[in-house]
Structure 1
Amino acid sequence: MIVFVIFIHNNIFFINLGTGTVVLDIPPYVSHIKYLVSDIIARIAVPLFFLISGYLLYLKENTFFQILTKKTKTIAVPYLVWTSLAILLFALGQHLTFTKAFFANPQNNITNFDILDYIDAVVGRFTVRSPYPLVYQFWFLRDLILLNFSAIIFKKIIDKFPIAFLFLAIFFWIVDYNLYLYSAESMLFFVLGYYIHKYNLTTDKIDSIQYFDILLLYAITICIELFCPQYRQIIHKINIIIGAVLAIKLSLVFVLKERIFNVLSQLSAYAFFVYAMHEPLLTVLRKISIKIMPTYGIYVLIQYFMVAFVCIAICLVVGVVLRKSVPKLYEFLSGGRA
């Protein structure tokens, strides 16, 4: 899912440099491939993260104080630490002559920040300037923190009005009606974690689905989303559901294959670190890539995959080095995930 998140963030059409904006010349076939990977297949990542987070939280009967204590350590502290590091990195990068081109961004010019800008850099949604924090991907953590703090309220409402609340949450998600505190998507899939726990739903029915059936259905709905944009709003939601079901079904294969499971288990220790570090590294790598590669045709597709995998590799290397050399620091940066 972390890999998918990086591909979502790597699907761009222009790159801002200190000297101006470079618009990529993207052929239709490259555009379709990028849309397929970043805007269809990879879009299951965030809903599944919220679903798993909600399910794991509701497995235990936590009090509000227990949730507050645990999530402050695992989410809030690394959130503030990484945001502070990003502000320092941008300030330094925008100040030094030889790095200005790679950190130039009119919306994030640290030297011109006022108090509201710094608040915006941390929380994003609660100001009028941007819905996202400075560390762009941390909107997920921000929503997750607020959802965790609302978990007990959700539980009480769902216990009293289970069907009505579910239909309302699905409706908000379909029409993209985002709530003030968190997005409709994050709320829906987070509370679905409680429904799974509440009604003791298992993966037996998902495991019983034939691969041919789900892959054929997925291929059809993907083609509709790719080539019939008039149906894109609703079919996109359907593809998220189908893709998530397929991912859960595939996870059984990963569990049963001992070698794959062992590799994924080892890599899982770096999931949060890769997630936290990949931006603005991903942005910098894109700016470097257009200095050494053409910005048209097949080169755009090569750059798309190359930059994402180089970013992942760098994050993993840094994470491995930190974890082995200064484990306490790594644990602190990862919210206790060692």
Structure 2
Amino acid sequence: MNKRERNNLTSKSISILRFPLTIGVVFIHFSLSKGLNIHGTFYGINNPDWFFFVTNFISEVLARLCVPSFFFISGFLFFNRDNFNKKIYFQKLNTRMRSLFIPFILWNIIAAAFILCKSTIPLVSNYYPPIDINFSFVRLLNTFLCNSNNSGILVYPSDFPPPMDFCPINIPLWYVRELMIMVLLSPLVYWIIKKEGRYAIIIIGFIWYTTPFLLPESSYFPMFIQALFFFSWGAFYNISKIDFIHQFRKGKWLFFTLYPIIAITDTLTKEFTYSICIHTSGLLFGVPFVFTLTSYLIENWEIRPRQIFIDSCFFIYAFHSLFMNDAAKFAFKTLHIPENVPFIMLVFYLSVPIITIGLCISIYVILRSISPPFCKILTGIRMSN
């Protein structure tokens, strides 16, 4: 395989992976590992072990590869020029303002509007608590950056589970927040990699790997160091002019052998404290596994998703969490789904994300046909002609 074919394979792998990785993110946000929580009551927790093995394997193991893979791709694509200087840096800041910052602000505003609507509409409010508004400049910033412990402008009741720690009000957008931080730090990332090469990645990777043992998940640093490591790891290959697909394929038997073993072990040991070590190792081997497997599927199966799936990825990512869990709770209670019939619960678990993705794509297509300019703004101009 010549250099041009390798570059083409890398480009195709990145493009094709966007949609499956987005599907994985949706499944992360519908994990039934602790049951379905409706007003503090957990449904489906008495199902057999095999049910939780399947749901944990999908949502808590395989899907957890998606965000690190996105950071890796972002780091690789960010340094796609032959050199990196002050002029290029400010050009990239300008483009990321349009592709990251503006959608980040808009989608968080949309999330706040959705939450207010859900707490006031009679039918929906049965599954959502009344929300108070406490406005201040600091709370406004927290709403966009760190909407935890009722620190944002929307205040939840004391008996309602608080939003996830260190996430904006539109929870999945923590990834965009960290990516914007990586963009701001990109000159430092570039300088360190140019100066220290692969040793810089090893050191950052060591800090990332040991962080879960030193700091609780409820602290912010684990989010930051995960973003920094995988962003820098991807950046390393482009800065060093190394084809990462070709590099990963050299160790294909290692990844194809070890990762499935680690993934199964991770799933089986979730209840133990040492599981975090297994899980972190799984991410380290899983990211190369994902790219290597994708490259072989492209070569041997010539997979090529429809462009609409690729175009709608950001819309799915930003929109799905605003309604998916509430719609699932409504469907669960309305359809009287038997919580202790594992096969029916499994169908329910698989159906909710799939239906959510289908609805997001449908809404995206309608919005794009009605108002292409607004759709471009919402998605950071992630559209094909």
Question: Under a length normalisation based on structure 2, what TM-score does the superposition of the two structures give?
Answer: 0.78
Q: Which residue of 2 aligns with 1:22?
A: 41
2 CA distance for matches of 1:284 and 1:324?
27
Contact 1:147 1:182 in 2 (8 A): no
Larger mean Cα displacement after TM superposition, 278-287 or 162-171: 162-171
Q: Which residue of 2 aligns with 1:72?
A: 97
Change in 2 beyond 3 A, CA 1:248/1:325: same
Secondary structure, aligned partner of 2:353:
helix
Contact 1:30 1:297 in 2 (8 A): no
Question: Aligned pair 1:249/2:249, yes or no?
Answer: no
Q: Which residue of 1 aligns with 2:260?
A: 219
Q: Which residue of 1 aligns with 2:310?
A: 268
2 CA distance for matches of 1:205 and 1:156?
23
Contact 1:120 1:127 in 2 (8 A): no
Larger mean Cα displacement after TM superposition, 169-178 or 324-333: 169-178
Q: When you count helix as a share of all residues, which structure comes out higher?
A: 1
Which string of whole-angstrom CA distances, capped at 9 and with x for unpartnered residues, describes residues 126-154 of structure 1?
Answer: 98953111101000000001111110122
* Structure 1 residue 265 displacement after superposition: 3.5
Secondary structure, aligned partner of 1:329:
helix
2 CA distance for matches of 1:294 and 1:324?
40
Change in 2 beyond 3 A, CA 1:215/1:8: same
Which string of whole-angstrom CA distances, capped at 9 and with x for unpartnered residues, describes residues 270-311 of structure 1?
Answer: 111111111122112221232121223413322211111111
2 CA distance for matches of 1:181 and 1:125?
17
1 CA distance for matches of 2:369 and 2:302?
23
2 CA distance for matches of 1:268 and 1:254?
17
Q: Which residue of 1 aligns with 2:140?
A: 118
- For residue 188 of structure 1, the aligned residue among 229, 237, 244 is 229
Change in 2 beyond 3 A, CA 1:181/1:80: farther
Which string of whole-angstrom CA distances, capped at 9 and with x for unpartnered residues, describes residues 184-218 of structure 1?
Answer: 1111000112211122222224335556x644433
Question: Aligned pair 1:89/2:139, yes or no?
Answer: no
Question: Aligned pair 1:278/2:320, yes or no?
Answer: yes
Q: Give aligned pairs, total.
A: 330
- For residue 72 of structure 2, the aligned residue among 51, 55, 58 is 51
Secondary structure, aligned partner of 1:133:
coil
Q: Which residue of 2 aligns with 1:317?
A: 362
Larger mean Cα displacement after TM superposition, 120-129 or 195-204: 120-129
Q: Which residue of 2 aligns with 1:38?
A: 59
Contact 2:57 2:264 in 1 (8 A): no
1 CA distance for matches of 2:372 and 2:297?
28
Give the % identical residues: 20
Give structure 1 regions of 4+ aligned residues with deviation exceeding 4 angstroms. Answer: 14-17, 125-129, 177-182, 208-211
Q: CA RMSD in A?
A: 2.5
Contact 1:285 1:311 in 2 (8 A): no
* Structure 1 residue 112 displacement after superposition: 3.3
Q: Which residue of 2 aligns with 1:174?
A: 209
Contact 2:255 2:286 in 1 (8 A): no
Gaps of 5+ in 2: 1-20, 152-164
1 CA distance for matches of 2:315 and 2:293?
24
2 CA distance for matches of 1:118 and 1:140?
19
Question: Under a length normalisation based on structure 1, what TM-score does the superposition of the two structures give?
Answer: 0.88
Question: Aligned pair 1:201/2:236, yes or no?
Answer: no
Q: Which amino acid aligns with 1:290?
A: F
* Structure 1 residue 246 displacement after superposition: 2.2
